[in-house]
Amino acid sequence: MTTNTTPDVNALRAICVELRADIIEMLCLAGSGHPGGSLSAVEILVALFWGPLRHDPKNPGWPDRDRVVLSKGHGCPALYAVLARHGYFPREELWRLRKTGAMLQGHPVRSFTPGIEANTGALGQGLSVAQGMALAARLDGSARRTHCICGDGELQEGSVWEAAMSAGKYRLDNLTAIIDFNKGQIDGHVAEVMPLDPLDKKFAAFGWHVITVDGHDLAALATAYAEAAATKGKPTVIIADTVKGKGVSFMEGLIKWHGVTPTREEADRAIAEIRAAGAAA
């Protein structure tokens, strides 16, 4: 997809810059957490939360809201930064991430944090939970849509494929899975640890509509979400090609930064770099 230079996408790009800076700052202050998979998911979340998602931060319990399940729960700094910017809770909470008694837990917890739909952190469960939400929406006759964000390593869990199979069986066209295809996990590269190829064919064989997209291209993601909503009779999976650690040169593509947080000096360097790249764009 060619770069779309409408003001809209430019505004979203500026938001991505701010979110990435927030993520780095949060993780630096927390002293633990997962930068790589938080940074890779920024555009996926922005294109959704500043795009088709129907939600009301003032009324997080609105029954007909669209649902977002972050199945790769360790990526929650990205979601927290998004929720804060939408006013689900005060921004100051970001700086208390992972502290004793904090609203923002190391992995998402519904009862602690407004805007969190399901408790995750054990990989491989979110897609089933999202499927349950999608089935309930159908029973309720509600137009609400359910989105589930999974890691690529996470797809190694057998339970993901049980969910893929049943969502295919039930033709859950109100369900969209987004794969943060960043090619890294903890012990190494996904292709070495446990290869997933051909991922698109696997999902297609399970009865899903498959979209492959540049996961950092906001316009392409917007088109993908629209295509998912328009697809009838099948669930849709958006395989978002991303870079783990996106936006910070010394983190990009490096397995090491999965679960290591930046020092103050590294964080300052990262934030300066993120802002400079944003200004230049």
Ligand X SMILES: Cc1ncc(C[n+]2csc(CCOP(=O)(O)OP(=O)(O)O)c2C)c(N)n1
Q: For the CB of residue 215, give the shortest distance to other proteins in the complex, in Å.
A: 20
Stretch that binds other proteins, among 62-70, 77-85, 122-130, 272-280 (CB under 8 A): 122-130
Residue 153 within binding range of Mg ion, rule CB under 5 A: yes
Residue 72 within binding range of ligand X, rule CB under 6 A: yes
Residue 119 contact, options other proteins, Mg ion, ligand X, none, Cβ 5-8 Å cut-off depending on partner type: other proteins
Residue 105 within binding range of other proteins, rule CB under 8 A: yes
Residue 216 within binding range of ligand X, rule CB under 6 A: no
Residue placing its CB nearer to ligand X in the complex, 20 or 144 = 20
Residue 191 within binding range of other proteins, rule CB under 8 A: no
What does the block give as tokens for 2?
């060619």
- The Cα-based distances of 113 to 20, 76, 80, 104, 239 in angstroms read 20, 11, 9, 6, 28
Residue placing its CB nearer to ligand X in the complex, 122 or 230 = 122
Q: In sequence order, what DSSP letters do the residues of 200-245 get, joined into one string?
A: HHHHHHTT-EEEEEETT-HHHHHHHHHHHHH--SS-EEEEEE--TT
Q: In sequence order, what DSSP letters do the residues of 5-54 get, joined into one string?
A: --HHHHHHHHHHHHHHHHHHHHHHHHS-S-HHHHHTTHHHHHHHHTTT--
Residue 194 within binding range of ligand X, rule CB under 6 A: no
Which residues does 52 contact at the CB level (< 8 Å), separation at least 6?
A: 66, 145, 222, 225, 226, 229
**Binding test (CB under 6 A) with ligand X, winner from 131, 174, 176, 182:** 182
Residue 151 within binding range of Mg ion, rule CB under 5 A: yes
Q: Is the peptide bond before 57 cis (omega within 30 degrees of 0)?
A: no
Q: For the CB of residue 76, give the shortest distance to other proteins in the complex, in Å.
A: 10
Sites of contact with ligand X (CB under 6 A):
34, 36-37, 40, 72, 74-75, 121-124, 151-154, 180, 182, 184-186, 244, 258
